[in-house]
Amino acid sequence: MKIVQEFKAFIARGRVFDLAIAVVMGGAFNAIVTSVVNDLIMPLLSIITMGTDFSALMITIGTGENAANLTYGNFIAAVIQFLMIALVIFFLIKAYNRFADKKFGEAPPTKTCPFCTSSIAEAATRCPHCTSVLDACKPGSSTGLLDDQPQDDLVIM
């Protein structure tokens, strides 16, 4: 059966499983974000809006059976909810980035030795590889050997 072979190839082709995990995790994450917005933030917001029932806000156009109700209150509520979700996600990403920074840490700043081109600590005054004295190459010095080069070239990230 050719279609079975193709289906097997489709499943085995890598990303499908990762994608499935992403979708399931996204759904679970969505529940958290929705809960934060609906259970924590929206009640606080109703203090500011003094308990306005947005779903009751509407404009009625026409009369009788053919009247159209423009429920713009629901639209406002949807916009507010979207902004709150964006805000919550912004803070979650901010918190995650801080956590990730702390976990992996930042590499200490380095510079390149002008004599042997080894990567050495930024604050070093003597190269540990070739033992050259680097005092004159400190940033801000006007007599340094490397002062003609842009400072960016000295820093290896």
Out of 24, 78, 86, 130, which residue is the one contacting Zn ion (CB under 5 A)? 130
Let me know: does 41 contact 49? Beta carbons within 8 Å.
no
Cβ proximity to Zn ion: between 94 and 129 the closer is 129
Query: How many CA atoms within 13 Å lie on the side-chain side of 75?
Result: 7
Cβ proximity to Zn ion: between 60 and 125 the closer is 125
Kindly state the tokens that stand for 23: 């979708």
Distance of closest approach, residue 145 Cβ to Zn ion, in angstroms: 12
Let me know: does 88 contact 100? Beta carbons within 8 Å.
no
Cβ proximity to Zn ion: between 113 and 154 the closer is 113
129 contacts Zn ion (rule: CB under 5 A):
yes
Out of 16, 25, 83, 116, which residue is the one contacting Zn ion (CB under 5 A)? 116
User: How many residues lie near Zn ion (CB under 5 A)?
Assistant: 7
114 contacts Zn ion (rule: CB under 5 A):
no
Cβ-proximal residues to 38 (8 Å cutoff; 6+ apart), any chain: 81
Distance of closest approach, residue 105 Cβ to Zn ion, in angstroms: 25
Q: What is the DSSP letter of 38?
A: I
Tell me the C-alpha distance between 144 and 44, whole Å.
60
List residues near Zn ion by CB under 5 A. Answer: 113, 115-116, 118, 127, 129-130
